[in-house]
Amino acid sequence: MNGRREVQLEACARAAHEANRVYCLTLGDDSHLGWAATPEWQKETVRHGVARALGGATAEEMHQSWLTEKRANGWKYSPIKDAEKKEHPYLLPYAELPAEQQKKDVLFAGVVRLMAQALGLQ
């Protein structure tokens, strides 16, 4: 991958992360940090999401991939999110997510694809 493409992909990741962070704020969830303060492990998860979105994954497929990745890294379901304990309330099948959480996956993919189009990646 050349340097320009890496910068463009990182811009897609940052835009999608920030859009989701702002969306979560409207839902009363202030647990998401701005991109600059986000831990590297979490940025890497976002970058994987960018690759899936650009590969044409549906919101449900993206969630399933995120769920598989989280479980492989030792995360477990809990009604309360706790990154230190690796616990998350949305470690559920897509169909069982609240509608606003399903919309978050749609938003993420949409922002990635729009940014990629604007940057000439697609």
Q: Express each pLDDT in 28-47 by its tens digit.
A: 999 899 999 999 999 999 99
Phi and psi at residue 88, in whole multiples of 5°?
Answer: -150, 135
DSSP annotation of 82 reads B
- The arithmetic mean of pLDDT across residues 88-116, rounded, is 96
Q: Find the Cα–Cα–Cα–Cα dihedral 102, 106, 26, 11, rounded to 10°.
A: 140
- The arithmetic mean of pLDDT across residues 66-78, rounded, is 95
Q: Is the pLDDT of residue 99 over 90?
A: yes
- The arithmetic mean of pLDDT across residues 78-96, rounded, is 94
